[in-house]
Copies of this chain bind each other. A is one copy, B any other.
C-alpha cells in the first residue's frame, strides 16, 4: 500500500492546501488550519477536460473547509491535469472535438470514454482513500463523502457502489447509459443536479439516472438553463448536504 507523500504546502484565508502524490497520482488536500481533531473527508472529482485545481474545485473545496471544517481531496483523473495522455486518450479526445465541430451528438463518445476512464479512476481513488485515511487528522473510521458532476459522476457512481466507506454523495449532469445499473446498487443519501435545458444530455436521460439510485434519501435539483449554466448556489447546497450527512448531529 502506498502512502501520502506531501510535496508543497501553503495557507490562505484559513485553509491549508497541500499538494500530494499517492504513487503516480497527483492530488491536493485542503484542510482547516485549526486543531488536530479528526474531521470528515470529502473526495472531490473534477469534470472532463479540467483538473484538480480548476476554479470550481478550489471554490468547492474552500466552501467545505471553511463552512464545515472538513478535509477535501481532489486528484487528477487519468489523462487529465498533470498526468500523461495515452494514445487511447488522444484518439477519444480527437473524436470528441470532431463531433463537436461537426455539430454531432457528444453523448456517445463521452459516455464510452468516461466509462473507460472510470475503470482506472475507481482503483486510483480507492488507493488514494487508503492512503489519506492513514493521516492522523483523517483516520480510518471517519465519515467520507464524494462530490463530482459530469465525468466525475461517471467515476463516482461505480466508486460509491464499490466503496462502503463513502456514506453520502453528490452527483449530476450525466447520461444513464453506462451508470444506471450500478446506481441501482447505491443506497447512501444522494443529491443529484441536472440542467433542465441541457443541450447535450436529454432531460429524460438525466431524470432516468436520478431515478436509478436505490437511496431512500435522494434529492434532485434541476435548474433552468444549459449544460454549463449550473447555478453557483448548487455548490452551497452540496456543502449543506455534506454538513447534514457527514457531521454527527445531536439526536433530533
Contact = CB atoms under 8 A, between A and B. Distances in A.
A220 B222 CA distance: 5
B196 A220 contact: yes
A58 interface: no
Interface residues of A, number: 19
B244 A233 contact: yes
A177 interface: no
Interface string A179-215: 0000000000000000010000000000100110001
A219 B218 contact: no
| Number of chain copies forming the complex | 2
Contacts of A233: 240, 244
A217 interface: yes
| A-side interface mostly | mixed
B222 A219 contact: yes
A56 to B, nearest CB: 17
B219 A215 contact: no
Contact of A220 (B220, B231, B237, B244): B220
A166 B215 CA distance: 37
Contacts of A219: 221-224, 231
Nearest to A252: B232
B224 A217 contact: yes
A248 interface: no
A216 interface: yes
